[in-house]
Every structure is written in structure tokens, then in C-alpha cells.
Amino acid sequence: MESREIGFTDNLARTLGMMAKHGLLLTTISAEGRPNVMTIGWGCVGTIWARPVFIVLVRPSRFTFGNIEAAGQFVVAVPGDDMHETCLYCGTASGRDADKFAERGLTPVEAETVAAPLIEQCVRHYECTVIHRNDVVDAAIDAQIRSDAYAKGDFHRLYYGQILRVTERV
């Protein structure tokens, strides 16, 4: 994959726009070294502790959750406009039951700074290492959001990933 390194704010509006439209793809690696990918619709990019940070929200029920807990790393991959079906699939199938890379013909590509892979077919990648994590607090969340998002519990864990490297396909 031919790519160039960019700043974390470069084309950020495109990344956030895609997250709101079809979702982004969050890649992780299992303790056995198997790559997995899940769709995320919620997240934030900004500066915290004088570092560039990508915050992702992952429910404990996700296979991805155990992978991030074990590895402390992840990659956020920005899909192309033609990858809507892939986002739907990766947002419904679980890595517990399926090899989503193989099922969708996605090609894992080695990242430079983390063990989680990039995805050949994606246009932009954020390589992240976890520098903080905390859970949504039941007693503190807005009542409407609680009933909309947490009727069954499964409160998201927020992973604060320091962005180590951002690349864009050329």
C-alpha cells in the first residue's frame, strides 16, 4: 500500500464525517496474533495531556474488548465510500465466530508502530497506543442516554489512544 504520513488533524473532518456516515473500522490483534476488525460509530479526536488522542468506545461484550485489554493498542481505519457493506458486516459479525478479514476480502497490512494491522482497502489510518481507559458511569450518565444506549447495561469502556502515526493512501 502506497501511503504518506500526515498530521493528526489533516483531513480530520473527512474521518469524522465517515464515522457519522458509515462508521470507521477498529482493528485489533488477539493474544494468539489473529487480527480482528469491528465497526465504530462513536469516538473523538483531540488533544489531551499535550498528546494527540483518539478516543474509542467499546462495550465489554465485544470480542475487540478483550483484544484491547490484552494488547493496549488499536488502529482506526477510515473506509472508502464504497465500503458501506463491509462496515455493516464488521458491525454485526463477531471475531469470536468469524474471520472478518477473510469474509470481506480485507487485506491486513503491517503497521509501523503497533501490532494491530492497517487495512489495505482503507484510505486513512490512525495507529494508537492506550494511555488511559475508563468506563461510562451508570450514576453519572444523562437519563435519556442511559435509556437509549444502556437499557441492557454493557456500559462502554472509553479507550484513550495516543495517536502515534497517521497515514493516508496516495
Ligand X SMILES: Cc1cc2nc3c(=O)[nH]c(=O)nc-3n(C[C@H](O)[C@H](O)[C@H](O)COP(=O)(O)O)c2cc1C
Interface with ligand X (CB under 6 A): 23, 36, 38-42, 57-59, 62-64, 87-88, 91-96
User: In the bound complex, which residue of the shown chain has the CB atom lying closest to ligand X?
Assistant: 91
Residue type, 33: G
Q: 6 vs 16, which CB is nearer to ligand X? A: 16
Report, in this order, helix, strand and coil percent for the chain, each rounded to 5.
25, 40, 40
Find the shortest distance in angstroms from Cβ 65 to ligand X: 7
User: Which helix (H) or strand (E) segment is 18 a member of?
Assistant: helix 12-21
In the complex, minimum distance from the CB of residue 82 to ligand X, in angstroms, rounded to a whole number: 16
Residue 26 or residue 114: which is nearer to ligand X going by CB?
A: 26
Residue matched to cell numbers 457519522: 20
Smaller CB distance to ligand X: residue 42 or 150?
A: 42
Min dist. Cβ of residue 89 to ligand X (A): 9
Q: At a CB cut-off of 8 Å and minimum separation 6, what does 149 contact?
A: none
Radius of gyration of the chain (CA): 15
- C-beta of 59 vs 169, nearer to ligand X: 59
Q: Measured from the CB atom, is 10 or 154 closer to ligand X?
A: 154
CB of 104 to ligand X, least distance (A): 12
Angle CA 75–77–83, to nearest 5: 150
CB-CB contact of 47 with 34 (8 Å): no
Residue 55 pairs with which residues in a beta bridge? 44, 160
User: To the nearest whole angstrom, how small is the minimum distance from the Cβ of residue 32 to ligand X?
Assistant: 14
